[in-house]
Amino acid sequence: MALLHIPFDQIDQRQLQRLIEAKAAESRDIEYKQASYGNADADHAEFLADISSFANTAGGDLIFGMAATKGVPNGFVPFSGDADAEMLRFDNMARSGLQPRVAHLRMKAVPLSQGANALVIRIPRSYNPPHRIIRQGKWQHRFFARSSAGKYEPNVDELRALFILAPQLADRIREFRIDRVAKIAAGEAPVPLMDRHCLVIHLVPFSAFDIGAALSLPEVEGAAIKFPPLYTTHPVDRRVNFDGVLLLSNADEKASQQRAYVQVFRSGVVEAVASSILAGERPQGGGSRLTSMKVEGAIVKYTTGYTAALASLGVEPPYAVLVSLMGVKGVPISFGVRAWPYDDPEAILDRDQFHFAEVLIEAIPKSKDECATMLRPLLDQVANAAGLAQTPTFGADGKYQLFTA
């Protein structure tokens, strides 16, 4: 028994008490500390070894203020100091003492009924390992990992495996995208689409490729409203399929085609596809066109929503965002700020598929503006396809000027 299955914000005294009642022994992903670390170099080194060992392995929780005998918790020993100051000290030690820095450390004080607090640090599994100690004397430049017996120093073969993890993961994400885009282009999407002009967004949590990673499909069904198909406010139909949960834009179960869908894979990957993305006939004639503002607006709006939805299901960052345009060769494209009766310079798309460079999201964006800033390299590439050097939706101050999808 551990806490990793519990969203961090939901950890309270009741959850910690369950660990004591269940006699949940220390393991690869949980460790108890009766007291906090001291201020000596050796104490700092111990802290850095603990944090890096979790990050280099599978992540886990450090709990301060719980007594344990031979690794089995048996009661609270509340931390009576300034919890905020102590957590700031932890954060500063981790920032200055590890290379590369361990991102997304989360800390909280858990109020206890007998007064004072327990402190909990959640260390995520790192997808940029290995992390080494770069301070603290004889501990300097050492690496640590974890097993069920606690932290240890990995051997050469284990270190080599850690060093090649990140490149392998990047390759697997790209291979997943290539496979999915090929299936959509071949007409093998989960449902038939209205036409071949498609916007495809893949949101890929790094944890999706961990062995055993799986969402609860009943929980995904319950959160279906959080995964609206592109250019809609909510799904109007949902179905469980072999891959996970499918959210649809058409409520007619007998419909031969769908305009858009969202496939939430049981691994946590989100695939959002919209067809019929071209605008209709222009008043001055010349057929339909694609507006990159509409594409950009959808990328920002729905990435913001989908990341929040995944986090609510316990799927934490980092995420890779991958965007493709399909079936668009020969289609006119403009940015689309001006109304059609006025001058709005166009380019002609010169290839059938555009696969924009992936962007890494390392923290849940708090707003569409913040999400747009994270996605700016991708948004600039969409504008490049429309013949612009960069997207015009950022002002001179670097702030996003909102265009809605």
Instruction: Let me know whether 342 and 362 are in one domain.
Output: yes
60-104 confidence digits (pLDDT tens): 999 999 999 999 999 999 999 999 999 999 999 999 999 999 988
Task: Note down the domain range covering 299.
Answer: 166-385
Residues 6+ apart with CB under 8 A from 155: none
Write down the mean pLDDT value for the chain. Answer: 88
Indicate the number of domains in the chain: 2
Q: Please say if the pLDDT value at position 128 is more than 90.
A: no
Coil vs helix vs strand at 168: helix
Kindly state whether residues 128 and 254 are assigned to the same domain: no
Q: What is the pLDDT of residue 33?
A: 95
Mean per-residue pLDDT, 333-350: 68
Angle, alpha carbons 386-389-393 (nearest 5°): 80
End position of a domain, from candidates 158, 192, 226:
158
Max mean pLDDT range (110-119, 141-150, 281-290, 343-352): 110-119
On whether residue 198 sits in a domain, the answer given is: yes
Question: Binning pLDDT at 50, 70 and 90, where does residue 403 land?
Answer: low
pLDDT at 9: 86
DSSP 245-277: EEEES---TT-S-BSEEEEEETTS-EEEEE---
Say yes or no to pLDDT of 54 above 80. yes
Q: What is the pLDDT of residue 1?
A: 57
Asked if residue 243 has pLDDT above 90, the reply is yes
Residue 387 has pLDDT above 50, yes or no: yes
Q: Which of 158, 184, 204 is the last residue of a domain?
A: 158
In a domain, 140, yes or no: yes
Give the separation between CA 326 and CA 11, rounded to whole angstroms.
44
pLDDT of residue 212 exceeding 80: no
pLDDT band at 341, cuts 50/70/90?
very low
Over range 129-152, report the average pLDDT.
82
Task: Report pLDDT for 339.
Answer: 46
pLDDT for residue 265:
97
Query: Side by side, which strands form the sheet with 117-123?
Result: 30-33, 60-64, 117-123, 106-111
Q: Is the pLDDT of residue 281 over 80?
A: no
- Out of 71-75, 139-143, 237-241, 307-311, least confident range: 139-143
* Alpha-carbon span 8 to 4, nearest angstrom: 8
The whole-number pLDDT of residue 298 equals 95
Question: What is the average pLDDT across 4-12?
Answer: 84
pLDDT band for position 8 (cuts 50, 70, 90): confident
Mean pLDDT calculated for residue range 346-360? 92
pLDDT above 60: residue 374: yes
Whether residues 44 and 192 fall in one domain: no
DSSP per-residue letters across 294-359: HHHHHHHHHHHHHHHHHHHTT-PSPEEEEEEEES-TT-EEE---S-TTS----EE--SSEEEPPPE
Contact indicator for 98, 134 with CB cutoff of 8 Å: yes
Q: Which tops the pLDDT comparison, 95 or 284?
A: 95
Same domain, 272 and 338: yes
Rounded to 10°, the helix 165-185/156-163 angle is 40
The predicted structure's pLDDT at residue 137: 58
Q: Are residues 333 and 216 in the same domain?
A: yes
Residue 404 has what pLDDT? 46
Peptide bond into 190 cis (omega under 30): no
Confidence of residue 335 (pLDDT cuts 50, 70, 90): confident
Same domain, 331 and 184: yes
Tokens coding 131? 């992390």
Residues 142 and 172 in one domain: no
User: Over pLDDT 90: what percentage of the chain?
Assistant: 62
Q: Which of 365, 377, 363 is nearest to 317 (CA)?
A: 363
Half-sphere exposure of 268 (CA within 13 A, CB side): 28
Are 202 and 321 members of one domain?
yes
Q: What pLDDT sits at residue 402?
A: 64
Asked, for residue 402, whether it belongs to a domain, the answer is no
Please report whether residue 403 resides in a domain: no
Question: For residues 239 and 221, what is the distance between their CA atoms, to the nearest angstrom?
Answer: 8
